[in-house]
Structure 1
Amino acid sequence: MPLWKQPAALPDVAAMYGESRAQLDRQTANRPVDMARAISRLGVARGIKAFVRYGYLERNGQSTLAVLLGLVRVRHHPRAYLIGDLAGWLDRLQRRSRDKHAPARFGHAECRLADAVFAALTRDDTPGRWQAILLAVVDIESLQATGTAIESGPILSLRPKWVAAVDDSSAEVRLALALGSAAAGYTREGRPIDPVHSHWLPLERGARRFKTADKRLVNDPRVVATGRDPIRDLGALVERRLIEAGTKGQRRSRLVAAPGCSARLDDLARLLSGTLDLDKLLGLARTFVAIKWDQWSRDHGPRIAPTTDVPEEIWLIVRPACLPWPLTRDKDIPADSRIVRLLSGAEGSRAIEIARTRLRSVGIRLSLQTG
């Protein structure tokens, strides 16, 4: 129900109900999320300052009761346009969730996503609200990985300004940006070559459709991240990249971040100390892969001065042995997939010894003792 800024006469009310409408572009808003988008973009009749939400609950005997759900104020939301990136996907998900054969868990996940979008558009504009949207998207994709609602397709493309919307100045967001932008390389136009999205979901080239056969997801060997254990997923992703590089005669990690997105040493130090929320980090990274990287610039990235923190010495030994490029012109250290496999298997001493051997082969000698 609408609320006016000033008392409304009967002709005003009659005109509003007879002519006015809430709309998005040329379409009428007929869902709560659509209504919130229309309100946040001022796509409603002038003079209305807010809308009162009511829910209709069905009681015994099929009689209904109107329950007050809250107040939605009419105001311009500077980031409301970002939801347009998900609009088509949201529509497909809603249609699928209303199917009588849809699994209950998918219906619940779709509701959580719709609620997250509604909250971001009608409540306080904080990074946590926008993060909740992307993390709810990941919940949907996790269900799609099991074969549910694959006809809705994956999310397509996100504008780079999503990064500013979710940026809470945390190391998780910055590292998620580094991982989400990771690819074998980038073209001159800024498009990623072989991004990491295909390690979570079986995708056709271009990541616009799922790989399917007989209306089911194909069993793609490139999909190695299950979403159950962040550490195992990260290890499996890097190991898979090294294996694929080896089949092409390249002993490289083939993981390069977009310009301005590379991981910082102080953030890596926090990651290795075990103080970060890995579920949040990987969840955001899975959605950042959908960013339109050809529209990306360093100005879109988080801005915060780095600290002097650095990772432990052991990491400083392992990292040069797993680079996607030569260390220097005369020091080319081939990557070894055994290092990642041993680290994942809690055999750090053996992994470090292999890394030290690789470094010694190019003339780098270290005095650090392992064991």
Structure 2
Amino acid sequence: MMHEHLLAGCTPTPLAHYLKALGILRLVAEQKDPEAAGRWQGELFVLRTVLSREELIRFFLEEYRPTPIIAPWNGGSGFYPKDNKSGIDPISKATAKRLEPYREVIALARLSVGDREESPKNEEKADFLRSLRALLPDLVLTWFDAAVMLTTDKPEYPPLLGTGGNDGRLDFTNNFMQRITELFDMADGRPSTKSAAWLLASVGEEAGHGLVTKAIGQFSPGSAGGPNATTGFDSDSLINPWDFVLMLEGALLFAGAATRRLESTDVSTLSYPFTVRTTGTGAGCGNVADEAPSRAEIWMPIWRRYIDLHELRALLSEGRVTVGRRAARDGLDFARAVSGLGIDRGISGFQRYAFLMRSGKAYLATPLARIQVVRNPKADLLTHLDRFQWLDRLRSVARKDAPGRIQQLVRRMEDEIFSLTQGGDRLVLQNILMLLGQIQQSCGVSTKGRDAVGPLPFLGAEWAMEADDGSHEFRLACALAGLTDMRAYLAPVRVDKGKVEWAPGSPKAVWGGGDLVSNLFRVFDRRLLEADRDRQEIEPFAGFPAADIPAVMAFIQGKTDDGRIAALLSGLVNVQLPRNMPHRNVSTDHPPAVFCLLKPLFTPDGILQELGILPPDRHLPLPREVVNLLKAGNREQAGRAIGIGWRRLRIVGMKLPPHPRRPPALVGTEGARLAAALMIPLAKGDLARICQPFMPVQKAD
């Protein structure tokens, strides 16, 4: 019969309690019940085993054999004259059978230490570690490999166990041995008088009492003492000895899984299970400044189905995730890659931790956030930012000497990327687009920015399709972004042989401060100068995808958020836009007669001829004075502009309404806004409808 034990003392936070859950499963499976399995249920760990509640408690109190955890390479480990020996000496002299392996391992290690007065340093330490590992029995190698990674150059230390089993002046192994002496009698191995109560409190069956004043280190920030830990200035660490013991027993599951990252042979690129560089952004993070005084961050998996010890070892040994073809380097990479990993292995989420320096030289495993595994296809679009290593280079620059504005924008973008990986909607994708546009504009005017990172590479059309929320603002921004060479007007860039390059000082980059309408006029004025230079007529405002009448009408009536249109435009100009956006069923008023009259002047001849509005042998140029008069802002000049347009249409032979025989008046909007609206490409179907009065009547056969 299988029993399920809900362990209230084993929770995803703090890290000590997470590792404790793993330790309980490992010890039960290795020493008592090979079929034992575990899973997370809500915020608690569930152990499934043939052991009843009484048998489980009895196993730990009477049968559990502590793993011989030692670190003679560290000062403070108990192996040197000045070390605390309250744990190592009693165990080395113990006669209890359950402690016999521990006693033998200590004796072996003392042979390696010899007559040293202090722990080895530098090259001597590397040699010592190699010779020690060759002597140790398999029982201890699991611990050794969890704490130390031997390389051809120098020893490396997985961040989970500090720097080889210690954190500053706190040696985990010495404290482990001290806790063992508090739990068991060294002579016969029986549990101490408080051991049972401590065990019940540790698994969460009874309230904790009689905690000991000892150190726990980085694993439980709330118990670590130090300034501000309580109402006093400096409090002692209060811990349950079983918590510390089971925590380190659980940490052993992370042994032997360090590998080099796929794209490098550099020692500094060693990769440990679910461990990456700290990213000071994303859910739960407070400041990019946390990145510097940080050892690393680690993402602890949460799974909902039962897995046994064999499966758990496999999960942790494969605890490396990739972004594209490279290994995840930091928290942002991990967030991007986590969905695929979780789906493959049945992981439902991760508890994200960062080892941050919080008091003196001590690091604390600070819980940042619970990251749910949510498959979001929109997050796949982020791979477009990896072209030419653009995103990596940008983030690297932002963490060095980039201007403050670029640093701020990149931080905000990283937060949005985190949100996107957690199932963020279209608005999150729009936020990323807007930030990308602002980043490109800021880098474009910064010599340091241009030297360090190239322009944003072209993004696929999927960005526009997936970010489309059906709003007027988004449709208008897409239409404006599709205007010929619009990207060059917003930032100093040029396209050479399909590749985007910086064009410092480009006279085309006229977009700047001011509102959307004034910036559109700057683009118009620049096009006028280019036309004069090339002795050509001004190029019509054509492009794709075009906007529909409801969006243009909302703009004419001043019902749109122009600031959002401009911000979206700055990002969408970097997208290879689709020819058409999905159709919207939106009701609207008919555009004003003035708009219908003047719109053909802003439309290429080919489209007008295709729709039958302009005779095939005629040409309809855009008189520049029409825009200049409209943007002047007063009704008299607007009337003159309308009159010019009216006459121009008559000259080319377009059909005009017979009544009244005069141009329509400007009503319901101002001239400048009307001129800006006319620059927005309009969908052919909508253009045909509003120009219906201008089409020649088809004679019946």
What amino acid is the match of 1:2?
P
Change (3 A) 1:159 1:361: closer
Report the alpha carbon displacement of residue 173 of structure 1 after superposing the two structures with TM: 1.2
Match of 1:81? Answer: 380
Taking the aligned partners of 1:144 and 1:263, their CA distance within structure 2 comes to: 30
Match of 1:65? Answer: 364
Structure 1 segments unaligned to the other structure (5+ residues): 184-194, 212-216
Match of 1:198? Answer: 488
Instruction: Compute the TM-score of the two structures, normalised by the length of structure 2.
Output: 0.46
* 1:244 matched to 2:545: no
Which one of 328, 332, 335 corresponds to residue 622 of structure 2?
335
* 1:41 matched to 2:340: yes
> For 1:2-60, what per-residue CA distance to the aligned partner results, in whole angstroms no more than 9, with x for missing partners?
11223555554444433431112331112222112211333786132211122444324
Which one of 402, 409, 413 corresponds to residue 109 of structure 1?
409
Match of 1:190? Answer: none
Q: Is the 8 A contact 2:444 2:502 kept in 1?
A: no
What amino acid is the match of 1:248?
D
What amino acid is the match of 1:131?
Q
Taking the aligned partners of 2:539 and 2:642, their CA distance within structure 1 comes to: 14
Taking the aligned partners of 1:323 and 1:48, their CA distance within structure 2 comes to: 55
For residues 191-270 of structure 1, the aligned pairs below 5 Å read: 195-206=485-496, 208-211=500-503, 217=504, 219-258=505-544, 261-270=545-554
Q: Is the 8 A contact 2:354 2:367 kept in 1?
A: yes
* 1:355 matched to 2:647: no
Taking the aligned partners of 2:639 and 2:364, their CA distance within structure 1 comes to: 67
Taking the aligned partners of 1:77 and 1:132, their CA distance within structure 2 comes to: 16
Taking the aligned partners of 2:579 and 2:624, their CA distance within structure 1 comes to: 32
**Runs of 4+ deviating beyond 6 Å:** none
Change (3 A) 1:347 1:253: farther
Taking the aligned partners of 1:144 and 1:165, their CA distance within structure 2 comes to: 26
Corresponding residue SS for 1:118: helix
Taking the aligned partners of 2:588 and 2:517, their CA distance within structure 1 comes to: 25
Which one of 658, 662, 674 corresponds to residue 366 of structure 1?
662
Match of 2:419? Answer: 119
* 1:158 matched to 2:459: yes
Change (3 A) 1:273 1:57: farther
Report the alpha carbon displacement of residue 360 of structure 1 after superposing the two structures with TM: 1.3
> For 1:62-109, what per-residue CA distance to the aligned partner results, in whole angstroms no more than 9, with x for missing partners?
43333333222224322222110112321110111122x222221111
> For 1:155-213, what per-residue CA distance to the aligned partner results, in whole angstroms no more than 9, with x for missing partners?
11211111221111111111111111112xxxxxxxxxxx21110112233451102xx
Q: Is the 8 A contact 1:317 1:356 kept in 2?
A: no
Taking the aligned partners of 2:331 and 2:514, their CA distance within structure 1 comes to: 32
> For 1:303-340, what per-residue CA distance to the aligned partner results, in whole angstroms no more than 9, with x for missing partners?
31243423333333443333333661266432133333
Report the alpha carbon displacement of residue 345 of structure 1 after superposing the two structures with TM: 3.6
Q: Highest relative contact order (Cα 8 Å, sep 6+), 1 or 2?
A: 1
Corresponding residue SS for 2:455: coil
Report the alpha carbon displacement of residue 227 of structure 1 after superposing the two structures with TM: 4.7
Which one of 541, 556, 559 corresponds to residue 272 of structure 1?
556
Same amino acid, percent of matched pairs: 27
Match of 1:323? Answer: 603
Report the alpha carbon displacement of residue 269 of structure 1 after superposing the two structures with TM: 0.8
Instruction: Compute the TM-score of the two structures, normalised by the length of structure 1.
Output: 0.83
Taking the aligned partners of 1:241 and 1:26, their CA distance within structure 2 comes to: 44
- Larger radius of gyration, structure 1 or 2? 2
Change (3 A) 1:367 1:74: closer
Corresponding residue SS for 1:209: strand
Taking the aligned partners of 1:22 and 1:48, their CA distance within structure 2 comes to: 13
Structure 2 segments unaligned to the other structure (5+ residues): 1-299, 651-655, 668-701
Match of 2:478? Answer: 177
Match of 2:449? Answer: 149
Change (3 A) 1:19 1:306: closer
> Which range moves more in the overlay, 63-72 or 127-136?
63-72
Corresponding residue SS for 1:204: strand
RMSD, aligned CA: 2.6
Taking the aligned partners of 2:628 and 2:355, their CA distance within structure 1 comes to: 56
Q: Is the 8 A contact 1:331 1:362 kept in 2?
A: no
Q: Is the 8 A contact 2:630 2:641 kept in 1?
A: no
What amino acid is the match of 1:290?
N
Q: Is the 8 A contact 1:21 1:45 kept in 2?
A: no
Taking the aligned partners of 2:501 and 2:415, their CA distance within structure 1 comes to: 26
Q: Is the 8 A contact 2:511 2:523 kept in 1?
A: yes
> Which range moves more in the overlay, 228-237 or 4-13?
4-13
Report the alpha carbon displacement of residue 276 of structure 1 after superposing the two structures with TM: 0.8
What amino acid is the match of 1:316?
C
Which one of 367, 390, 399 corresponds to residue 98 of structure 1?
399
